[in-house]
């Protein structure tokens, strides 16, 4: 079982993601802003982190930069999770140092497999 940290301020989105990932066999920790997400990593060792790039307390670039400074997260995929248009999201995710993007609204049929693919790729890279 993998542990996924979801940093998402929209409660409806966070609950949907948690439901889908729990159903797929993952453990999920939800954080509603960047500060809560950064605090959560001291309590858990996530296998993957989904980061909304539009959080209320800090921008996505700052959150990702702070996550990247944590040596315990080396090799942990950080995935941008955003409602930005796909082309914009792709460029911003690259600039921020994310390992990929998932755009909202999510496709509930394919979302669990996207997460599984990111986790598999991270394991293969180790």
Supply the CATH number for residue 36's domain: 3.40.50.2300
pLDDT tens string 105-126? 999 999 999 999 999 999 998 8
Q: What is the 3-state secondary structure (H, E, C) of the chain?
A: CCEEEEECCCHHHHHHHHHHHHHCCCEEEEECCHHHHHHHCCCCCCCEEEEECECCCCEHHHHHHHHHCCHHHCCCCEEEEECCCHHHHHHHHHHHCCCEEEECCCCCCCHHHHHHHHHHHHHHHC
pTM of the model: 0.95
Counting the structural domains of the chain, the total is: 1
pLDDT tens string 1-39? 899 999 999 999 999 999 999 999 999 999 999 999 999
Q: What is the pLDDT of residue 126?
A: 80
Residue 27 sits in which domain range?
3-125
């Amino acid at each position: 079982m993998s542990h996924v940290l979801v940093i998402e301020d929209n409660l409806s989105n966070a609950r949907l993601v948690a439901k889908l990932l729990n159903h797929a066999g993952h453990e999920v920790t939800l954080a509603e802003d960047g500060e809560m997400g950064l605090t959560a990593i001291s309590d858990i060792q996530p296998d993957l982190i989904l980061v909304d790039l539009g959080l209320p307390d800090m921008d996505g670039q700052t959150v990702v930069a702070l996550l990247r400074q944590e040596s315990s997260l080396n090799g942990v995929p950080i995935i941008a999770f955003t409602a930005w248009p796909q082309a914009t999201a792709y460029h911003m995710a690259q600039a921020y140092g994310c390992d990929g993007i998932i755009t909202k609204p999510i496709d509930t049929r394919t979302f669990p497999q996207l997460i599984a693919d990111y986790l598999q790729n991270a394991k293969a890279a180790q």
